Structure 1
Amino acid sequence: MPPLISYFERITLCFAWVAAWLFTLAGAMLSYEVVARYFFLSPTKWAAELSQLCLIYGTLLSMSWLLQHRRHIQINAVTSFLPERVHRMTVLMTMVILFIFCAYVAFFGWVIFEDSFARGRTTGSLLDLPAWIAELPVPVCFAVLGAQALIEIWKLIDGRPIPKGGHE
């Protein structure tokens, strides 16, 4: 495997670990909120919004790892019966469409992020955080997902086996 791809996949693994910790942190914050609200009658101002940010970042950071390991939702009732060559072409077309979609979302996500950053837009919540904090991971993580789609295309063209994922 080329060193650049190996390096990128290590970064993807780091993103997945950060995502796992963010999900854990979100669970801890929400648990704290429940205890504070219902046992001490003292709800927090920060737990709901910060846990939402953790879930947003965690979900988006994990996308490329999920694609690499085929752990995303797959509907393979038909494709599992296709001949190998046709199945490979189907996966290739899927990755090309995914790359185009990622490029679109990354581009327009960046436009939205840039606009919010320039205008100083805020969330309007109790914490009144800058809106760009929640918007930034969209273009960044979809660009990373698009790069992972390109890597998957390269692997398919190189003749590597299609990963089965954990669903079979």
Structure 2
Amino acid sequence: MIVRAIDAISEATGKLSAWCLFAIGFFITFEIVMRYVFNAPTVWVDEISRVLQVWVVYLGVAYVLKHREMVTIEIILSNPDTIWRKLAESFAILVLFIFAGTACYFGFQIWLKATLAGHTTDTYLAPPKMITHAPVWVGSVLLMLQGGVQLYRVWTEGLPEDDILEGQH
């Protein structure tokens, strides 16, 4: 049940990331029309688009891991049924935990400090920095949760059929 819940969260955040990319494209198109057709540029498109791009990256990373679309090198360990492949997959996930755990810990500290102090960005819109700092630790938590699910799968279900077929080509 927990595995399915984490998978569902990763799916939802991945789809949210995709919709945010769509919104960014729409906002930039809107800005181009406003700037070059009506000669009335906006003050918010650039900043909102940048904030959304940061959220896209961190919200989408668990989705990417769930669908096994991270960069992998399988030249030496191409057979997915060996213990060595399972150990290599496990090692990669453990390295991911170290990276994501560090990013989560320090990202949360920076977010908490900015939130409690009421810091804002040094831009025209001046949104709270909590909005720009939160994706780091939120995305890292999501990545660690999905990493735990993937580690569980390596040892209980093995590698997905897609990986096995790709290894034969």
Taking structure 2 as the reference length, what is the TM-score of the superposition?
Answer: 0.89
Higher relative contact order (CA 8 A, sep 6+): 2
Query: Partners of 1:91 and 1:113 in 2: how far apart?
Result: 32
Question: In the alignment, which of 109, 115, 119 is matched to residue 117 of structure 2?
Answer: 119
- Matched residue of 1:56: which SS? helix
Aligned residue in 1 for 2:127: 129
Query: Partners of 1:158 and 1:82 in 2: how far apart?
Result: 13
1:2-151 matches, within 5 Å, as 3-80=1-78, 84-151=82-149
Structure 1 residues 113-138: Cα deviation after superposition (integer angstroms, max 9, x where no partner): 00111121111111011111011111
Mark the runs of 5 or more structure 2 residues left unpaired by the alignment. Answer: none
| Matched length | 166
Query: Partners of 1:106 and 1:16 in 2: how far apart?
Result: 19
Mean CA deviation greater in 108-117 or 5-14: 5-14
Structure 1 residue ranges (4+ consecutive) displaced by more than 6 angstroms after TM superposition:
none
Taking structure 1 as the reference length, what is the TM-score of the superposition?
Answer: 0.89
Letter aligned with residue 11 of structure 1? I
Letter aligned with residue 164 of structure 1? D
Query: Partners of 1:35 and 1:85 in 2: how far apart?
Result: 57
Aligned residue in 2 for 1:164: 163
Q: Among all aligned residue pairs of Structure 1 and Structure 2, give the percentage whose two residues are the same amino acid.
A: 23
* 1:78 to 1:30, Cα distance in 2 relative to 1, 3 A: farther
- Matched residue of 1:164: which SS? helix
Q: CA RMSD in A?
A: 2.2
Query: Partners of 1:5 and 1:81 in 2: how far apart?
Result: 25
Query: Partners of 2:71 and 2:51 in 1: how far apart?
Result: 23
